[in-house]
Amino acid sequence: MRILALETSCDDTCAAVIEDAAIRSNLISSQAEFHRRYGGVVPEVASRHHLQLVNAAVDGALAEADCSLDDVDAVAVTRGPGLIGALLVGVATAKALAAAARKPLIGVDHLHGHVAANFLEPDPLEPPFLCLIASGGHTLLAGVRNPRSFEVLGTTLDDAAGEAFDKGARLLGLGYPGGPEIQRAAEGGDPGAFEFPVAMSRDPGLDFSFSGLKTALVYKARDLGEEGVAAARADLAASFQRAITDQLLAKLERALDREPWPAVALGGGVAANRELRERTAALCDDRGLRLKLVPIELCTDNAAMIASAARFTEPTPYPDYLDWDAYSTGSALRAA
């Protein structure tokens, strides 16, 4: 089964071709340079860039996979959740491509895509496993019992983990995206120098919250003043990073205490964080669990993961998808 997939839910214009679980091409056109000057993703700017980039991304993905639209069995696209204007560019393009070639179209849930990154070659992970997805837009613990769906065990009540990194970086006078900037600034810093609240630590559930942490940093930065922040930047970054990873790991551990998952996987842009990767590896080591870490380019948004989820999603035959819309929130998939 050969699938051409498109992903335009946020600020990356992505197209990929997979053949069963093997990636034939995986193109990612990052718009980060356009959003950097604003310190975050501007939805209208993202939509306009998707429009300019999407056709070249599709052509590039087909060319690199050495095939044409006629050679694919189905087209797949992210329908949501994400930025609605950005999603619509991908959905409209995918509908047009599929309809022109009289192919089926597969509408994919973005978060199912992050989970499905683990099903790709090499070394695909088979369910059941526990998957922590932490990105700029989402933070959730997904219980994966079969490849077709996932169960949301816990999610963020406010900001996403990546958003906390991005906002924290701005408060520390660092650039965008904030995650890598904080990770770099934290090198050599003392993670115990400042005390930040580890939210939800007494909450028995599996939900996350990051807005209190951000507020704590706002106050700390105000107390220290600009020069004080500059002088203590490494310690502040290390302590802030530690507070985020503490919360992510605490909830991961709690989920493992509740149910004996045999394997753990990480996904989303925050999964690129070295401290999170190392601490999760230590946790899995301690508990004798398998840890699956896909390469960074499959952690952050990409279309190969959407194609991978499409393999386990019902295709819609031509022309039944012509009235499809995108959805900005919620999910087409709930519970296993």
Minimum CB distance to ligand KG4 smaller for 91 or for 185 = 185
Closest CA to 279 of 300, 293, 258, 298: 293
Q: Strand, coil or helix: what is 160?
A: coil
Among 135, 139, 247, 280, binds Zn ion (CB under 5 A): 135
Which of 333, 331, 296 has its CA nearest to residue 9? 331
CA pair distance 138, 163, nearest whole angstrom: 9
Q: Of 49-57, 168-176, 282-290, 300-308, which part binds Zn ion (CB under 5 A)?
A: 300-308
Using CB under 6 A as the binding rule, whether residue 156 contacts ligand KG4 is answered as no
| Site pattern 259..278 for Zn ion (x: CB under 5 A) | --------------------
Indicate whether 90 belongs to the interface with ligand KG4 (CB under 6 A): no
Question: Which CB sits closer to ligand KG4, 154 or 269?
Answer: 269
From 71-79, 119-127, 161-169, 250-258, span contacting ligand KG4 (CB under 6 A) = 161-169
Return the structure tokens found at 109. 């849930």
**Contact mark string toward ligand KG4, 295..324, x via CB under 6 A:** -----xx-----------------------
Least distance (Å) between residue 262 CB and ligand KG4: 25
CB 26, CB 302: distance < 8 Å: yes
Give the binding range for Zn ion (CB under 5 A) out of 132-140, 179-187, 246-254, 284-292. Answer: 132-140
268 interacts with ligand KG4 by CB under 6 A: yes
Q: Which does 300 bind (CB under 5 to 8 A by kind): ligand KG4, Zn ion, none?
A: ligand KG4
Q: Are 96 and 90 in contact (CB under 8 A)?
A: no
Q: Hey, what are 203's tokens?
A: 């909450």
Interaction of residue 162 with ligand KG4, rule CB under 6 A = yes
Return all residues near 219 (Cβ < 8 A) that are at least 6 apart.
Answer: none
Strand order from edge to edge, sheet including 149-155? 149-155, 139-146, 129-134, 263-267, 290-293
Stretch that binds ligand KG4, among 89-97, 131-139, 188-196, 198-206 (CB under 6 A): 131-139
- Cα torsion through 110, 114, 119, 120, rounded to 10: 90
- Of 117, 272, 291, 333, the residue at the interface with ligand KG4 (CB under 6 A) is 272
Listed ranges 20-28, 284-292, 294-302, 315-323: which one lies at the site for Zn ion (CB under 5 A): 294-302
Interacting positions 171-190 with ligand KG4 (CB under 6 A): 177-180, 183
Answer yes or no whether residue 252 interacts with ligand KG4 by CB under 6 A: no
H runs (alpha helix) in 172-318: 178-186, 211-231, 233-258, 274-287, 296-299, 304-310
Burial of 192 (0-12, 13-18, 19+ CB in 10 A): exposed
Total residues contacting ligand KG4 (rule CB under 6 A)? 19
Residue 168 binds ligand KG4, judged by CB under 6 A: no
Query: Using the 8-state DSSP alphabet, how is residue 78 labeled?
Result: E
Minimum distance from CB of 299 to ligand KG4 (Å)?
7
Q: Is 273 in the site for ligand KG4 (CB under 6 A)?
A: yes
Q: How is residue 25 written in tokens?
A: 């091409």
Burial profile 209-230: b = 16 or more Cβ within 10 angstroms, e = fewer:
bbebbbebbeebbeebeeeebe
Interface contacts to ligand KG4, rule CB under 6 A: 10, 135-137, 162, 165-166, 177-180, 183, 268-270, 272-273, 300-301
Interface contacts to Zn ion, rule CB under 5 A: 135, 301
